[in-house]
Chain A
Amino acid sequence: MTPEELDEIATIERETTHQFQHRVSVCVGTGCHSAHSEEVKTALEKEVSRQGLENWCQVKGVGCRGLCASGPMVEVDTAARLYQGVTPEDAVEIVETLDTGSVPRLECPTDLPFFTRQTKIVLEHAGRIDPERIEDYIVMGGYTALLKTLTEMTPAEVIEQITTSGLRGRGGGGYPTGLKWRTVAIAAGTQKYIICNGDEGDPGAFMDRSILESDPHRILEGMAIAAYAVGADEGYVYVRAEYPLAIKRLRAAIIQAERNGLLGKNIFGTPFSFHVEIRLGAGAFVCGEETALIASIEGRRGTPRPRPPYPAEFGLWGCPTLINNVETIANIVPIVRNGGAWFAEIGTENSKGTKVFALTGRVNHTGLIEVPMGITLREIVFDIGGGIPDGRKFKAVQTGGPSGGCIPEEYLDMTVDYASLAQVGSIMGSGGMIIMDETSNMVDVARYFMEFCMTESCGKCIPCRVGTVQMHELLCRIAAGQATPHDLELLEELCDLVKQTSLCGLGQSSPNPVLSTLRYFRNEYMDQLAAKPGE
């Protein structure tokens, strides 16, 4: 592939698209896909051909538009009309009204705060391109960032841009990405690897899944840029096997990129070569932890090992390895394209850019959202999320999944950034956000997450393996109204032990949901004790 050829693909694609009068985009993203949007797409295609309109109207499958609970979503022409809850039976009407107007009964208002308050960087292509066609990606400027990197920038300059951008890891830890890249780049060794972590095991989270399913080439391009920057020539995408669609699209994307010379040997005629392979996770949450993930790729049992040494120095097959989350990687292309300084303009002092959240629970609009760092929780819950359904009262928002905490109403005006969330006893995490109303029982919430950690503990270290079981048992007792104040003391003692002594992040953070609910909703625990203190 030469730069000219890349340009040509874009031009041809642009011209083909212009031939059509209309364009009907059916969301085939995660949520809509499970609401059978493929059938809607087929019905629309049939209808278009039945009316002989193939050369006049184009039907496309596109990635997630976010408002997943209202799916299947269908967009007619760019941003002209948006339909929600579409069924195959609606196809006739949609096609018939293409020229004349709309189908009011299906209309979804596009001026909802849900759409207008978001800032799309990571998901900029989601809902706009067909994830299964490389041409769609290229016409949006795809692979030009890689071209720019390889032909105009030194690896050090790329890292410089990433560092300037202030990007921090989106996989949960929030480690500065530029710093990590530099560590791998200067690590001794000729063979280096890069791994994209798409294991995403947090209950309720589907940010990475959505990115992979909506815009797989974005990940490949980001990985190639990262590989060039740190001096790697082989990369792995680790995706959980529960994401067959993401795997399928990623696999297709790799083949397309290889065919077009955008992956493989001497990309754009430069000395840079880069190969990508997919590895499937077998469903263990702990395999998202970087050292366990590496063990899993190496074909060993996926259990964490103590760090240091960090993968940046001693990773896959003992070589320096860069491991980044899917969303982190998805930020690379726009940063290279627009410059680190541009990215650093978005967000807050210590948290730059945007964050994708999977908004779920007791909120009117559930789905996938991308918001700038520094937005308040209130804006997310009440503007974007449209508030709490059934006239109920907001109670808490849970972020960070099983490693995070519950944030009560008094902090609703707090900004969403790494430091603020940590300060109130939660974490940014990978992006799960669960809204709870007054009917939620906080002991149950804590018990739910503890059960998750207990069953997902790898069993290697004692505090996590046995401690989570004991904590879960105590939470069950409290929930069943059989616990004594002494049991509550035991629970707190165990929280401290497991947090301080566990080997990896899973164990270390497993007490967080308990600790944060104890911090803000202690009364609920007390109310459920069988005997009160002093009895």
Chain B
Amino acid sequence: MAPPTRVKTLKINNRDVGARQDETILEAAADVGITIPTLCQLDGLSNGGACRLCLVEVKGSSRLYPACVTRVEEGMEVLTNTERLTNYRRMILELLFAERNHICAVCVSNGHCELQTLAQDLGMTHVHFPYRHPHMVVDASHERFVIDHNRCVLCTRCVRVCDEVEGAHTWDVMGRGMDARVITDLSQPWGTSDTCTSCGKCVHVCPTGALFEKGKSVAEMLKKRQFLPYLKLMREERS
């Protein structure tokens, strides 16, 4: 018999919230309709706390906590949208836009992109750091899909879905710092990958236009994610 789940009570943005003890701040907030910006997090995948957009303030601590991986605690007082946090979030987005070449106007995901939407929601109207314009490659060697590194934000959703859900582990990350990039198999053209099952999961979890289907033109790439909550649910029932 599973041990009884305990309920924790906490405050999020001064609202009293009750949450299961194993819930994260992000989940507890979502339960009561408070959205916290996220990018690397995706329901159904493990969380690495990488993008830092979901950082929240917790009363009594000078540290900031990633809501997607921080468990609720009794009596916690969480603030999710202070001016300080919004500023940090905007700057983090700006750093992303300045890092590679996100030219929204000519992107397959224009209008359906999580990065673009985040920028809009957070009121990020321009990037006040210098753009870096690195030379990045596009790998179109796969029969059906393309990876455009210009638009990759290194959220590693593709890596995680491929490993954790599809079980193929075709994707991984190579290199450090600014040289980091996602690779297929042993850093070889995607089309030559022995492990890729062409299931397309990576394409559909990708928040930006970095992964897309061939034949899609500007603004035509819509990501379909229904499979993830479904698979997650089915797995939970099995275990």
Q: Which residues of A contact B (CB under 8 A)?
A: 284, 286, 301, 303, 305-306, 454-463, 465-470, 473, 490, 493-494, 497, 500-503
* CB atoms of A466 and B52 under 8 A apart: no
Closest Cβ of chain B to A483, distance in Å, is 12
19 A-B Cβ contacts within 8 A? A284-B176, A303-B173, A306-B69, A455-B176, A458-B177, A460-B180, A465-B177, A466-B95, A466-B96, A469-B132, A469-B178, A490-B128, A497-B91, A497-B92, A500-B64, A501-B52, A501-B88, A502-B52, A503-B50
Residue contact B180 to A459, C-beta cutoff 8 Å: yes
Q: Does B154 contact A (CB under 8 A)?
A: yes
Contacts of B49 in A (CB 8 A): 305-306, 461, 503
Q: Are B48 and A459 in contact (CB under 8 A)?
A: no
Q: Is B3 an interface residue (CB 8 A)?
A: no
* A463 cross-chain contacts in B, Cβ below 8 A: 52, 92, 95
B172 proximity list for chain A (CB < 8 A)? 301
B176 with A456: CB separation less than 8 A: yes
* A455 close to B98 (CB less than 8 A): no
Cβ contacts under 8 Å, A459 to chain B: 154, 173, 175-180
Majority secondary structure, A binding face: helix
> What is the CB-to-nearest-CB distance from B30 to chain A, in angstroms, rounded to a whole number?
19
Q: B230 an interface residue at 8 Å Cβ cutoff?
A: no
Chain B, Cβ-Cβ closest to A469: B178
What 7 A-B pairs have minimum CB-CB distances, sorted nearest first? A459-B180, A306-B49, A466-B95, A457-B177, A466-B99, A501-B52, A459-B177
CB <8 Å contact, B177 and A455: yes
5 more A-B residue pairs beyond the given contacts A458-B176, A462-B154, A502-B52, with a C-beta to C-beta distance below 8 A: A286-B176, A455-B177, A458-B180, A465-B180, A501-B55
Q: Determine the chain A residues whose CB is within 8 A of the CB of B92 once the complex forms.
A: 462-463, 497, 501
Chain A nearest Cβ from B21, distance in angstroms: 14
User: How far is it, in angstroms, between the C-alpha of A468 and the C-alpha of B99 when the chains are bound?
Assistant: 11
Partner of B95, one of A303, A467, A503: A467
B180 contact set on A, CB distance < 8 A = 458-460, 465
Q: Tell me if B51 counts as interface (CB < 8 A to partner A).
A: yes
Interface residues in B78-102 (C-beta closer than 8 Å to A):
88, 91-92, 95-96, 98-99
| Shortest beta-carbon distance from A438 to chain B in Å | 33
Interface magnitude class on chain B: 20 to 34
Alpha-carbon separation in the docked complex, A501 to B64 (Å): 7
Question: How far, in whole Å, are A461 and B177 apart by their CA atoms in the complex?
Answer: 9
User: Within 8 Å of chain A (Cβ to Cβ): is B227?
Assistant: no
Would you give the 0/1 interface string for B43-55, flagging 1 where the beta carbon is closer than 8 Å to chain A?
0000011111001
Tell me the complex Cα distance, A501–B95, Å: 13
Q: Are A305 and B48 in contact, CB atoms less than 8 angstroms apart? A: yes
Q: Which A residues lie within 8 Å of B55 (CB)?
A: 501
How far does the alpha carbon of A466 sit from the alpha carbon of B153 in the complex, in Å?
Answer: 11
Give chain B residues whose Cβ lies under 8 Å from the Cβ of A458: 176-177, 180
* Cα-based distance from A354 to B95 in the complex (angstroms): 42
Residues of chain A with a CB closer than 8 A to B95's CB: 462-463, 466-467, 470
User: Is B130 engaged at the interface, CB distance under 8 Å to the other chain?
Assistant: yes
Please indicate the chain B residues that have their CB under 8 angstroms from the CB of A456 in the complex: 176-177
Nearest to B66 among chain A residues (CB) is A306
Contacts of B129 in A (CB 8 A): 470, 490, 494
Give B119 Cβ to nearest chain A Cβ, in Å: 14
CB contacts (< 8 Å) of B96 on chain A: these are: 462, 466
- Identify which of A301, A305, A455 contacts B173 (C-beta below 8 A): A301
Please state if B50 and A454 are interface contacts (CB–CB under 8 Å).
no
8 Å CB contact of B178 from A286, A306, A466? A466
Q: For residue A504, which residue of chain B has the nearest CB? A: B49
Report whether B98 and A454 are in contact in the complex, using a CB–CB cutoff of 8 Å.
no
> When the two chains form the complex, which single residue of A457, A467, A497 contacts B176, counting CB atoms closer than 8 Å?
A457
Q: A306-B49, A502-B52 are in contact. Are A454 and B177 (CB under 8 A)?
A: yes
Query: Considering residues A456, A462, A503, which has the most beta carbons from chain B within 10 angstroms of its beta carbon?
Result: A462
Q: In the complex, which residues of chain B have a beta carbon less than 8 angstroms from the beta carbon of A490? A: 128-129
Q: A463–B130 Cα gap in the complex (Å)?
A: 15
Contact call A466/B98, Cβ cutoff below 8 A:
yes
Cβ-neighbour of B98 out of A303, A305, A461, A470 (below 8 A) = A470
A454 and B178 form a contact (CB under 8 A): yes
- Interface of chain B residues 117 through 141 with chain A (CB within 8 A): 128-130, 132
User: B177 contacts which of A301, A469, A473, A497 (Cβ < 8 Å)?
Assistant: A469
Q: Please report the C-alpha to C-alpha distance between residue A82 and residue B131 in the assembled complex, in whole angstroms.
A: 59
Residues of B within 8 A of A460 (CB): 48, 50, 154, 180
